[in-house]
Structure 1
Amino acid sequence: MKVIGLMSGTSVDGIDAALVDVTGSGYEVAIEVLGSLTVDYSAELRHQILGVCSGQSITMAQVAQLDDEIAIAFAQAAQQLGPADLIASHGQTIYHRPPTAKHLGYSWQLGRGDLIAHLTQTPTVNDFRQADIAAGGQGAPLVPPVDASLLSHPRQHRCVQNIGGIGNLTYLPPWDRTGQPPTDIVGWDTGPGNALIDWAVDLFSQGTLTYDHNGDWAAQGTPHAPLIDQWLGQPFFQQPPPKSTGRELFGADYGQRCWQQAQTLDLSQADFLATLTAFTAATIVHSYQQLPRLPDEVLLCGGGSRNAHLKAQLQTQLPGCKVRLTDDAGLDSNFKEAIAFAILGYWQWHQHPGNLTTVTGASRPCILGQTHMPHT
């Protein structure tokens, strides 16, 4: 079955699209990536999305317009990859609230599935998080069962570390990828990935840059270790998994408070970026200390995997682990999340559960997503 996976993450840097030929059933799936591309958001649309994510006021009419514009952008990305049997669209998260003892979680992705189906004349699955949330889960991260199916190793303990706007991990004990996956697979959000670094680069460059290429700017500075230790005291990092987070916590307001602290210490812009980058690495390493055991290797993906300075810091702080890219295990690190949602869509189409309760904390396995059929 040819499935197009569409993904835009918390970095809000554009839409990743992958056309994937998926075969097999259940967790025993095989894939062939037939095409992939990234479509950047227009500067205006990205600005609007980031504004909503940071809590700016918006009317319902503006939300409806934004919902339409995102869906149109997603549909156009899918159309560039050619015909498919199914589209699986994650959409664009604008708000994520983890569950508490008092209420269920809440997660809102824009980019209407019905409009994508209409524009592409292709069945479209979207709204993947709601069923897991209704079952008491975090609704995130959803990619770990796909990681298990595609990246488990028969003898090695692996971690898959996505570094998008927010970071998340999947711990994969040895598995030969037949039958049911091991029951001790876990995963959770590790904290900020690129979100704070990107925010600072945008601020310091007055909007001319959106990210720190290769970590070159941060590499010119010196991280401030006491400040990193102070930031690691944030309650999220002490919270046991399952757990998830987003820009609601690690967004512009958080970045602004961090920058104010840095200014009282006379940190330069490069020192601050070095500190934010080292902080991201420290949050990942902190999460790994909560695993059943350290992995033999860490496979990086997402935009942050291309930050050579960050990757080097992770390798230094995890000396017993081999830090590589998912590319080295046969899965394109640039499009892994889009590929994952293609498989989640495939599972929904075949009524196979898409969540792992050990990851999200849901009370039961759930069929994830809603299908929208095109109307002629």
Structure 2
Amino acid sequence: MTRVIGLISGTSVDGIDAALVEIAETEANLEVDLLAGRTFAYPTQLKEQILRVCGGEKLSVEALAELDDNLAAEFARAALEIQSGFPTAELIGSHGQTVFHRPPLVGQDSSLKRLGYSVQLARGEVIAHLTGIPTISNFRAADLAVGGQGAPLVSKVDAYLLSDASKYRCVQNLGGIGNVTYLPARKEKNWEQKISGWDTGPGNLLIDLAVRQITDSKKTYDENGSWAARGTPCLELVNQWLEQEFFTQAPPKSTGRELFGEAYLSQCWRDAALYQLSPADWLATLTELTVASIVQSYRNFLPRMPDEVCLCGGGSHNLLIKKRLESQLAPVAILTTDEVGLKGDFKEAIAFAVLAYWRQCQQTGNLPQVTGAKMAMLLGEIHLPLG
């Protein structure tokens, strides 16, 4: 058994999700036991700075270095605290905090081809130094270097931990951005080669931004979707927004705040001006966009509809999203990953613990058919502590 800590802060910038796990692997099976999971909130000033940088605020190189180090210190603190009461972990896998993501550009004209670029702050060498634990970070770079999207990276982990012998499943993460992994039943011949996945579009991000604006930051999210549930979505707007290029683009594809951020929300608000929506209607409409983008992508890009959709991430607690998915995807069962044995609130942190373990074991971590990479790659850079 190997004790590994997984760390990640997602697009919503809610804080650092930390998971302490024990991993055991045989030739045919991967077992992961969650020993502890916790979300560590960012200090308010640091969170606001991250959000400003994600929103396009310009920084000097010196200021960027300071932010990188400050984030690394917070990630190291989370790693030290999550293992309190347990033997010291042997390895840390840290995704860091994404502040910029640019998918690769591919066109028929060779001059239009451009590798993707993705920036995750909280550098691993500082985490290793502060914790005294070998740390693997910068997971996306290797996939990007061979033409991949650098996302979603958790699909191979989903396959090992959440696939079923006879059921076809979609694992739908609902962070700031939504992403899906399609898992064929393992009874299918060459089932691993038939796995697919992509970013589906906004998850909680637009909803959270709207709540912050409506309440002057007194609230940061719509708990359980209860505010939006009191409103009526404007389906004309949702259908208009679904014509946006990202939603019609075939996978592999990835996205982030660069597309679905404050500028996008402002444009949506301008589009909504004619409809005189109440705050509840406005939130209901944005929530419906998340649901409709998921449903549309399933219908357009899946080889077949799944038997089950397993939700994870913060949006899995949004009862309105779950209810609308049940309505739109019936008779598909809408579950959470908790119900099939994997704690949904910490699934992404668990995934980066596994990816770090695989990197240490010299096992590839990406699925080229998901990310669009030319080949499977070892993911992550290894940083050893001093001394």
- TM (norm. structure 1) is 0.98
| Count of paired positions | 375
Give the match for residue 253 of structure 2: 243
Identity %: 55
Alignment check: 8 A CA contact 2:11 2:176 kept: yes
2:184 is aligned with what amino acid? Answer: P
In 1, distance between residues paired with 2:44 and 2:267?
25
Q: Which residue of 2 aligns with 1:80?
A: 81
Q: Does 1:318 align with 2:319?
A: no
Alpha-carbon distance in structure 2 between the residues aligned to 1:93 and 1:28: 31
SS in structure 2 of the partner of residue 335 of structure 1: helix
Cα distance in structure 2, aligned partners of 1:57 and 1:131: 26
Cα deviation, residue 28, structure 1 = 2.7
Residue identity opposite 1:352 in structure 2:
Q
Q: Are the counterparts in 2 of residues 136 and 361 from structure 1 also a CA contact under 8 Å?
A: yes
Aligned mate of 1:347, from 358, 383, 386: 358
The equivalent of 1:94 in structure 2 is 99
Aligned partner of 1:68 in structure 2 is 69
Contact 1:27 1:180 in 2 (8 A): no
Q: CA deviation at 1:36?
A: 1.1
Show structure 1 runs of 4+ deviating over 6 A.
none
Q: Which amino acid aligns with 1:309?
A: L
SS of the residue aligned with 2:127? helix
Q: State the partner residue of 2:227.
A: 217
- State the alpha-carbon separation in 2 of the partners of residues 94 and 26 from structure 1: 37
Task: Give the letter aligned to residue 123 of structure 1.
Answer: P
Match of 1:191 in 2: 201
Shift of the 374–176 alpha-carbon distance from structure 1 to 2, 3 Å rule, reads farther
2:202 maps to amino acid: P
Structure 2 portions without partners, runs of 5+: 107-112
In structure 2, what is the Cα distance between the partners aligned to 1:27 and 1:180? 15
Instruction: Give per-residue Cα distances to partners, 1:52-96, cap 9 Å, x unaligned.
Output: 111112221211111011111100000012220000000000000
Tell me the equivalent position of 1:53: 54
**How much has 1:269 moved relative to structure 2?**
1.2
RMSD between aligned alpha carbons? 1.4
Deviates more, 1:44-53 or 1:198-207: 44-53
Q: CA deviation at 1:147?
A: 0.3
Aligned equivalents of 2:351, 2:371: Cα separation in 1: 16
Q: Secondary structure at the match of 2:68?
A: helix
1:334 aligned counterpart, secondary structure? helix
Contact 1:26 1:347 in 2 (8 A): no
Map of 1:138 onto structure 2: 149
Instruction: Trace 1:326-365 onto structure 2 (pairs within 5 A).
Output: 326-365=337-376
For 1:148 and 1:300, the matched residues in 2 are separated by: 15
Q: Which amino acid aligns with 2:328?
A: Q
TM-score, with structure 2 as normaliser: 0.95
Q: Which amino acid aligns with 2:247?
A: F
Residues 212-291 of structure 1: matches in 2 within 5 Å?
Answer: 212-289=222-299, 290-291=301-302
With 346-355 and 32-41 compared, the bigger mean Cα shift is at: 32-41
CA contact (8 A) 1:125 1:372 kept: yes
Aligned to 2:171: 160
- Cα separation, partners in 2 of 1:54 and 1:94, compared to 1, 3 Å: same
For 1:181 and 1:137, the matched residues in 2 are separated by 21
Structure 1 pair 345–368 and aligned structure 2 pair: CA distance change class (3 A): same
Does structure 1 conserve the Cα–Cα contact (< 8 Å) formed by 2:184 and 2:191? no
